Each structure stands twice: as structure tokens, then as C-alpha cells.
Amino acid sequence: MSQEYIALIETVPQIIRSSIKDWLRIDQNQETRDEVVQLCQNRDWDELEKRFSSRIVFGTAGLRARMEAGTNRLNSLVILQATQGLAKYIAQQFPSTKVAVVGHDHRFHSKEFAEVTASIFLRAGFKVYYLNPQDTFVHTPMVPFAVDHVGASVGIMITASHNPKMDNGYKVYYKNGCQIIPPHDANIATCIDENLEPWSDNWDWTSTLQDGLNTGELVYAKEELTKEYIKKVREVLTEGNLSLGKSLKKPWFVYTPMHGVGYEIFNEIGAHLLGLTDGQDYISVPEQIVPDPSFPTVSFPNPEEKGALDKAIELAEKNNISLVVANDPDADRFSIAVKNSTTRKWSQLTGNEIGFLFATFQLESYKQLPEDFQRSHTLAFLNSTVSSQMIKAMAEKEGFHYEDTLTGFKWIGNRARDLEKKNFYVPFGYEEAIGYMFPAMEHDKDGISATVVFLIAYNSWLEKRNKYPQDILEEGLQKYGVFKEYNGYYIIKNQSMMKPVFDYIRYEYDPSNKYPQKIGDQFEVTYFRDLTVGFQSDTPDHKPTLFVDANSQMISIKATKIGSTDETVRFTMRGSGTEPKLKVYIEACSSTEDQAQNLAKLTWDTLRKELFRPDVTGLTTDF
Ligand SMILES: O=P(O)(O)O[C@H]1O[C@H](CO)[C@@H](O)[C@H]1O
Ligand SMILES: [Mg+2]
């Protein structure tokens, strides 16, 4: 290391000095090295501390962070280190199946990170199925699909889904085609810590990949696996070639991939399996078709955010179309907006409403299956514990199995695998964050499969019963009870703000009791679950049934409105694993839609005043 660097490192505060010294010793990426040197020269210790005082850890969807220099950020060195640890761990677990799948989306640096990842696996002696030859992209579900199809022991997708354009992510799939859950996440983190030193000085990824191609250890697999993916859609989702929308006035829907990677695969499946031609049966939002990492026409590339579907709705309105379907940028999630035929108003369905529509369709399909199959395979649906309980009510009434899991498909996918082993039939699982899984395809959410299944369901309801999605939802409320949600979030400017907010709820709000018995004057608590400290009020030993994680904050409460017999709410507050947010998920149950809606909003307002207290805690929210 040069004298100039040694002198510069001497000026760095003790707490981050050794991390920065190591960084400048091993990072061979000029751009990130320069960034660190510049920050040191500017003596920007606050910024350097944020980036170097810890190492990025696996959250809800793997590693996700801003792309910049730092051990707590995403850059080629962090990707190299993570992959070295991951490859070591997987090789230990599956010494005779050293096979990896690597794919990436269209984000800035995605290709570079995927090349680093593939190269490290090659160096670790893995055979690598690489999904992106040249400048092509894949949608996230291709990776778990490919892991299953080629029998890989690990899969990595480089994507930050719907996060802002400067973020990226590293999503890891295990041998069972599901995202990793404990204890593997912690074991991998340990292995990463033990393998921080680059195995080789050679950062010429292109030459490593070329060598892999020459020896046959690297396989360009996009074309082949895309064919297999489409074949599987045909086998398990469309059951042959369809011709959708025959009786509808054309074009009958608008599609947007939201500047992401969904168009190519959706268009191909539409044309080959569903009888849908762009420009004729449907129209796509022209400004949003081409993958663009700067997401120019949306402030957040997330179909859940207000305004994200505006362009698609505008296009639909102009063409007298009353249905909009959308994928998020890596096409693993799915959203819908519909125009009400009476009020002429557009509304975007919530993730829970879409989940209920899929559940209804899957239940209808299950009832068509041979009776002996139904007898030997109990139907089971899954959703995350922050999603609606409407499918629980449905399961109770219709006599099938329902379970909730923690947030994220790493939990939903793994649980589906467990249930399948016990002979349950699990055609579907979902989470309110517009994620839908069809395990016959893969054990993760899949926005393309969701689009296909939804279009089939939409057609079938219209053709057979002349019903629109809103009518199906209405029928559901009549049959299973009135559920209304109010989901929102607070911005966490600094992660250290999180714990005190939750500690206030668990210890200080009602110090004379184990947990709050009342919230404000309005609510009496009937159930309390704290998945951070490990307490659940209704189990015999007060141990929670779901996994407890001391490193992430999560409390769920059920309460009744004082003085009312039929008004109950269930809400969860948790720290996001992908964004700087404290998320609040509220679901109210009552006898009328208005009552339930008002109750959900009343709950938000009460929690804000009693528990979150923005004026004291510094939390901010737009809700
Ligand atoms: O809530 P966090 O941890 O940010 O996770 C979010 O990210 C996942 C979707 O990519 C979903 O599980 C959603 O809830
Ligand atoms: Mg996504």
C-alpha cells in the first residue's frame, strides 16, 4: 500500500479504520476505491461510518442496498465476498452437486455483479448455468425455476425488484428452489465473514467466464430454460393452448412491465399460449416496455405506490379499455387496476383483494379435480401473517387447510415444500405485497404466472357467469365476512430509531401488565404476539408458533372495539427487511364494508396517537 494511503488511513476514526484499511488493500474496482479515498479526504466520517461500521446482512429478500462503496452497501467487492462465502457453504452442504444458476435484471451494475458471481462459482469448482449471455435479462422467477429444472444446489438473482434505481440486490435460492431461511442465512453470513479475502488477484471476470465456456463448466442457458419455462406454463397453468378474450371487445386490457424485464416473456407466452397479440388483443404502455434502469416515467418503480399505474390507466381510458395488468420491474409481482362499469371510476386492487381472487379461482379449479385426488390430497393455502385473514375464513368455511407464515416468500415457499411432503396440495400462496406463488411452476412468487392465471380466471368468470373481479370480491365478502385493510408505513431515517418505538409498545405503554391490555380508550387487546422477544399470549407456554428473530422488530395484536360486539381488528407492526420503513398492516372485520373501513382507519389513527407518536419519536408518514 502506498505511503499516501497509509497517511490517509491514519486520519480515519478508530471505529472504522481497520475496515477502510482492508477495503483499500483488497478492492480492485477503481470506481469504489476512488469513492472511499474521496470520502476520507473530505473527512466525511459520518458517511463512512454508515457504510463501514457493519456488514450487510440477509433480510426479507436476500441482500439489498444502495450501490456504492462500503461493507454495508452493494458493490463488486461485497458481491465477491458474499459469493465466496456462499460457494464455500453450498459446497460443504452438497459436495456432489456443485451446480449454480446465476441470473440478473436490467439494473445499473446488475450485469457486472452477475459476472462476478458466476466467476466466483466457477473458481469454486461449480458448474454454472448463466441466464444472461450478452446483454439480455431474465425475470426473477426464472432463477428458482431453473434451480429446480437443472437440479442446481444454489441460485442467485441480481435484482432489487422495485427499489429505487440506485439500489441493487442479491437474492439467494437454496437447493430446494426456495429462498434461504434460518439457519442457512446465519451460516452463510459466518462463511462470508471467514472468506473476505479475495481468493485470487484476478478481477478479469470476462476471462474467467471465457475459460468456463471453453471447458464447458459455464453454460449459457437462457434460451433453453425459457423454452422449458414456457413449456411448464403450458403444462400446469394453461393446460394447452388457449385463445383468450374471444367474446370480448378488443383490445381488452393494457399491460405494463414498468420499465422492467417482463415484456419479453409475457409477450411470448401471450402469443404462443394464450392467443394474445400485442396491439390487437392488448396494448402495452409504449414508454414502459423497454427495460430501463433509470425508470424514467415513474417516481418509484413499484406498482404498489400511488401513481405508478397512471400511464397504463391513461392509455386504457383513451382506448376504452377497463382492465390494466402490471408487473413490477423484475416481474415477480403482479398488480391490477379495473374500471367500474357503473361509477366509471378506476381502482387499483389491493394485494389482498387479488390474493382472494386467486384463492377463489384455485378453489374452483380444485373442485374440478378427480375425487380420489381430492381425497388423498387436502387443499392448502398459505399467506404471510401480515396478509388478509379472509382466506383463513374461506378455509374454515370450505373445509381446507390454511396457514400463515412470516413475511416474504422465503417463508411461504419453504412452508409449501413442507406441506407438499405431507401430501397436501398447495396450488397457491400469496402475500399482501402483490406477490403470488404457483408452486407447480416454482416455489417463489411469479408475476408472469400470476398474469397468465389472472387472465384465464378473468375470462372464465366473464364467459361462464358474466362476473367481473369486483363481483367476485363482493360475493366473497357476503360469504366469508367483511374484511377491510389499512396498510401504511412510517419512514425510519436511522435504523437506531426502530427499537425504542417497539420497546415503548412492549414495555412502557402499559407497564403494569405483560403487554398492553388497552390501546387508547377505543380498543381492548385480546391477543398479543411479539416475534422479537418471543411471546404469544394464546399458546400454553406463551412461545410463538412462528420463528422468533431478536434482530428484527415485529409485534402483532388483535383487539376489539370497546362497546361493540362485532368489530375486531388485527394488526402487525414490523421493521422492513428491504427498505428504511416501519410497516403497519391493519385488518378490520365488521358486518358492513363502511364500518370495517372506518374501523381500519380508526385503528391507524389510534396507533399513531398512542403508540407511534411522531412528535416524540421523529417518525414521519404520508398516510
Ligand atoms: O416488508 P419488507 O421486509 O420490506 O419486504 C418486502 O419485500 C418483499 C417483496 O419484494 C415482500 O416480502 C415485502 O413485504
Ligand atoms: Mg419484484
Residue 306 pLDDT = 87
Q: Which residues have a Cβ under 8 Å from the Cβ of 204 and sit 6 or more positions away?
A: none
Lookup: cell for 434: 402483490
Residue 1 pLDDT = 72
Residue 530 pLDDT = 98
> CB atoms < 10 A from the CB of 266, how many?
25
Same CATH fold assignment for domains 54-220 and 483-617:
no
Lookup: cell for 580: 428504511
Which class is 352-473 in CATH? alpha beta
Ligand nearest to the CA of 61: 1
DSSP reduced 3-state for 586: strand
Which residue ranges have their beta carbon within 6 Å of ligand 1? Answer: 60-61, 161, 407-408, 431, 433, 435, 576-579, 583
Q: How far apart are CA 437 and CA 441, in angstroms?
A: 8
Q: How far apart are CA 507 and CA 410, in angstroms?
A: 31
229-349 — its CATH code? 3.40.120.10
User: Was domain 483-617 assigned CATH 3.30.530?
Assistant: yes
Query: 188-240: per-residue pLDDT in tens?
Result: 999 999 999 999 999 999 999 999 999 999 999 999 999 999 999 999 999 99
DSSP reduced 3-state for 170: strand
Residue 135 pLDDT = 85
Residue 145 pLDDT = 98
Query: 513-535: per-residue pLDDT in tens?
Result: 999 999 999 999 999 999 999 99
More confident residue, 2 or 163: 163
DSSP reduced 3-state for 395: helix
pLDDT at 5 over 90: no
Q: Counting Cβ atoms within 10 Å, is residue 621 exposed (0-12), middle (13-18) or buried (19+)?
A: middle
Report the nearest atom of ligand 1 relative to the CA of 581.
4
> CB atoms < 10 A from the CB of 227, how many?
11
Instruction: Tell me if the bond preceding 183 is cis, omega within 30° of 0.
Output: yes
User: Was domain 54-220 assigned CATH 3.90.550.10?
Assistant: no
| Whether ipTM exceeds 0.95 | yes
Q: How far apart are CA 479 and CA 334, in angstroms?
A: 26
Half-sphere exposure of 223 (CA within 13 A, CB side): 4
More confident residue, 370 or 306: 370
Residue 96's pLDDT band, with cuts at 50, 70 and 90, is very high
Share of the chain above pLDDT 70, in %: 100
Number of residues that make up the chain: 623
Least confident of 91-100, 208-217, 491-500, 539-548: 491-500
- In terms of Cα–Cα distance, which of 507, 492, 504 is closest to 577? 492
What mean pLDDT comes out for the span 249-269?
98
Amino acid, single-letter form, for residue 438: F
Residue 623's pLDDT band, with cuts at 50, 70 and 90, is very high
In this structure, which residue's CA is closest to atom 8 in ligand 1? 408
User: Is 590 marked active-site?
Assistant: no
Residue 234 pLDDT = 98
Q: pTM for this one?
A: 0.96
Strands in 241-378 per DSSP E? 253-256, 282-284, 323-327, 334-339, 346-348
Residue 469 pLDDT = 96
Query: Cα dist. 479→48, 164, 360, 469 in Å?
Result: 56, 40, 12, 15
Q: Which of 161, 179, 407, 434 to mutate to test the pocket of ligand 1 (most atoms within 8 A of CB)?
A: 407
Domains in the chain: boundaries: 54-220, 229-349, 352-473, 483-617
By the 8 A CB rule, do 65 and 111 touch? no
Which protein residues have their CB within 5 A of the ion that is ligand 2? 161, 328, 330, 332-333
Query: How remote is the CA of residue 359 from the centroid of ligand 1, in Å?
Result: 21
Query: 325-384: per-residue pLDDT in tens?
Result: 999 999 999 999 999 988 999 999 999 999 999 999 999 999 999 999 999 999 999 999
Ligand nearest to the CA of 489: 1
pLDDT at 402 over 80: yes
Residue 58 pLDDT = 84
Mean residue pLDDT of the chain comes to 96
Query: 547-592: per-residue pLDDT in tens?
Result: 999 999 999 999 999 999 899 999 999 999 888 999 999 999 999 9
Ligand nearest to the CA of 105: 2
Q: How far apart are CA 384 and CA 416, in angstroms?
A: 12
Residue 25 pLDDT = 95
Candidates 19, 161, 335, 590; catalytic one: 161
Largest CA distance in the chain: 79
